[in-house]
Amino acid sequence: MSLGCSLNSEAQEDTLRYMGNTISNVDYHHGQLSPAVGVHNIQVFRANREHPDWAGDAGWTYNHAPMLAYWNKKFYLEYLSCPVGEHQPPGQTLLMESLDGYHWSKPSILFPPYKIPDGTTKEGRKEIAKDLTAVMHQRIGFFTSSTKHLLGLGYYGLVMGPHDDPNDGNGIGRVVREIKNDGSYGPIYFIRYNHAFNEKNTAYPLYTSSPDKAFVAACNELLASPLMMQQWVEEADKNDPLIPLKKDFKAFSYYHLNDGRVVGLWKYALTSISKDQGKTWAYSPTRAPGFVNANAKIWGQKTSDSNYATVYNPSEFRWPLAISVSDNGLDYQNLLLVNGEISSLRYGGAYKSYGPQYVRGIQEPDGNPPGGNLWVTYSMNKEDIWVSEIPVPVTQKVTNNVQDNFATMSEKTALQFYNIYSPLWASVSLATLNDSTKGVLLKDSDPFDYAKLERVIPTSKKALFEFSILPQQDQFGLLEMEFLDAKGNPCIRVFLDSTGSVNVKAGYRNKSVGKYRASETLNIGLELDVNTRFYKMNINGKQIGNNLFFAPVHEVERVVFRTGSTRRFPDADTPTDQDYDLAKPGEKTKEASYLIKSIKATKIQ
């Protein structure tokens, strides 16, 4: 497969391209990218081998390739799972549901492990199957028919031994079942067999044998769509007549331009354009000029404001996760951060890459969530499953001063302009305590992750900050507050440690500047000046005096609250495959929590 960057002169006039100047710096998990304002990153599944009941009774630790749909006023999320590592049987496909995208059901099995008949062989391999199960591999998880029937889709592939791939066209075949209005699932059928399999040597019948005519019609509609079939190319027979473009271009996604043409996207940011709904393509998929993307998925779609967005990892690694926006679907202008975190990879396993990766949104037939925002899903480290809600229109700058008293703000608006990183065991939410005190609650019982709340503020050389915080403990836990420039470089760090001390970072050392107590409101004021690199501070009205930035910045553009320390592992030189588990990977720590009652940030002219 050619990954060349050159296009013929005709194609150059009509291709997707990145025209901005911002690039990602892989030495930082966040790539030194400015965040898209108001993105909420929500963990929906956290792997746990030791306590599978804490993971919805799904104790396998390779979880990857999630897909997303919105149907019947619900979000549906499908993902693959194996016990330890990628392409290591057995495999299954799981499904989760949510009414709001933030609170999710426990996983249920959509497609269970599939027993391969003993004696099965595979073209190009010497092994003979004995007590072997299939693994799953699919690039499309859902299809919503014109009659509003929702189909769940999967693919059973054969992995006969080490370094064998399930998506080589020599697997068993593709399966389908209906997801019904009442939440139940219809029977499993094969919708397409690979060349060595048929109704006589497989465990499920062909879909045409179903007595449900509407289900059969929905399957036929799927099979008649070139844009759906293009997503099957990797697993399908190499000569399958349903596949329009049979070359081995991977992980296809697409969107429609205003003139009806289709933009196609593949791994490595390969792209082409179709004038006939995916039946043919104007040129062989070629790397989109200016786009940086490696062997990871790229997602594109039209957004509710009639603009377009691509979401992908803009590096040769699988971090950070970023978004770029275009007003015409071809010329992309900017690059902003969606998720710049890499949580600890707790369980080693084959091909478990670090980072937020394999992003997918909701494809055109599969629904539009209320509110008009852009929703995507992805795996973290091929271990945990996340979703992100990205506000539309996508913005980078804030011009108004921040005057947020959460006691008087509605649930809808309180966190509208805040960026959230919220793992299941280190959550961020608007909450009311037992004494009716209201605020943003950061809770953390995760020894491998943290909760993070971030607020973009007006770009300032001088600024005044005021925070009101109600810590729920003073003998354990950590809350760090940092002041950052547009690239995520901190200049000041204030933190509440596990001994009841308020500290600041002073060069190499940390300096205690006061005390705090559990269940007592802590008011912190801070006035900074980037020109002098000094800041004044007060705690509960007591002046602390002048302190020096621990690092210089030209401007301050955001403030961060985080229940843990900055992470720098992995980096660009970290070995690719982690073959070890971390110590006690499934255990919790004692939960610390902090209620942030108010945040004020004022630019000083």
Q: Convert the pLDDT of each residue in 485-502 to its tens digit.
A: 999 999 999 999 999 999
Please give the DSSP secondary-structure letter assigned to residue 407: G
Please give the DSSP secondary-structure letter assigned to residue 353: -
Instruction: Tell me the two tokens of residue 61.
Output: 């630790």
490 bridge partner residues: 484
Residue 3: helix, strand or coil by DSSP? coil
Domain positions in the chain: 9-390, 402-603
How far is Cα 586 from Cα 420, in angstroms, rounded to an integer?
A: 24
**The length of the chain, given as a count of residues:** 605
Looking at residues 238-254, what average pLDDT do you find? 95
User: Residue 208 has what pLDDT?
Assistant: 98
Residues of the chain with pLDDT > 90, as a percent, come to 96
Choose the most confident range, by mean pLDDT, from 11-15, 279-283, 432-436.
Answer: 279-283
- Does 7 score more than 90 pLDDT? no
For the chain, the first-to-last Cα distance in angstroms comes to 56
User: Residue 13 has what pLDDT?
Assistant: 63
pLDDT tens per residue, range 348-371:
999 999 999 999 999 999 999 999
User: Residue 3 has what pLDDT?
Assistant: 40
How far is Cα 111 from Cα 131, in angstroms, rounded to an integer?
A: 19
Looking at residues 29-55, what average pLDDT do you find? 98
User: Residue 8 has what pLDDT?
Assistant: 44
Looking at residues 441-450, what average pLDDT do you find? 98
Beta strand pairing status for 418-422 and 452-460? antiparallel
User: Residue 395 has what pLDDT?
Assistant: 98
Looking at residues 286-307, what average pLDDT do you find? 97
User: Residue 448 has what pLDDT?
Assistant: 98
User: Residue 498 has what pLDDT?
Assistant: 97
CA 333, 334, 335, 336 torsion-angle sign: negative
Looking at residues 183-187, what average pLDDT do you find? 96
How far is Cα 119 from Cα 100, in angstroms, rounded to an integer?
A: 47
The closest alpha carbon to 377, from 338, 425, 404, belongs to 338
Per-residue confidence band for 397, with pLDDT thresholds at 50, 70 and 90: very high
Q: Where are the alpha helices (DSSP H) in 200-330?
A: 213-223, 226-229
Residue range 402-603 in CATH 3.40.190.80: no
pLDDT tens per residue, range 497-540:
999 999 999 999 999 999 999 999 999 999 999 999 999 999 99
pLDDT tens per residue, range 408-427:
998 889 999 999 999 999 99
User: Residue 605 has what pLDDT?
Assistant: 84
- Does 11 score more than 50 pLDDT? no
The closest alpha carbon to 94, from 73, 113, 75, belongs to 113
CATH of 9-390, one of 3.40.50.410, 3.40.50.10420, 2.120.10.10, 3.40.1080.10: 2.120.10.10
User: Residue 412 has what pLDDT?
Assistant: 83
- Does 132 score more than 70 pLDDT? yes
Task: Tokens 């940086």: give the residue.
Answer: 292
Global confidence as pTM: 0.96
The closest alpha carbon to 324, from 29, 34, 27, belongs to 34
62 bridge partner residues: 82
pLDDT tens per residue, range 147-170:
999 999 999 999 999 999 999 999
How far is Cα 110 from Cα 180, in angstroms, rounded to an integer?
A: 12
Residues of the chain with pLDDT > 70, as a percent, come to 98
pLDDT tens per residue, range 20-40:
999 999 999 999 999 999 999
Distance of CA 43 to the CA centre of its chain: 9
User: Residue 2 has what pLDDT?
Assistant: 38
Helix (H) or strand (E) holding 11: helix 9-12
- Does 190 score more than 60 pLDDT? yes
Amino acid at 324: S
Please give the DSSP secondary-structure letter assigned to residue 33: P
- Does 305 score more than 60 pLDDT? yes
- Does 4 score more than 90 pLDDT? no
pLDDT tens per residue, range 94-105:
999 999 999 999
Q: Assess contact for 425 and 588: CB atoms under 8 A.
A: yes
Q: Report the mean per-residue pLDDT for the chain.
A: 96
Instruction: Tell me the two tokens of residue 583.
Output: 């110590």
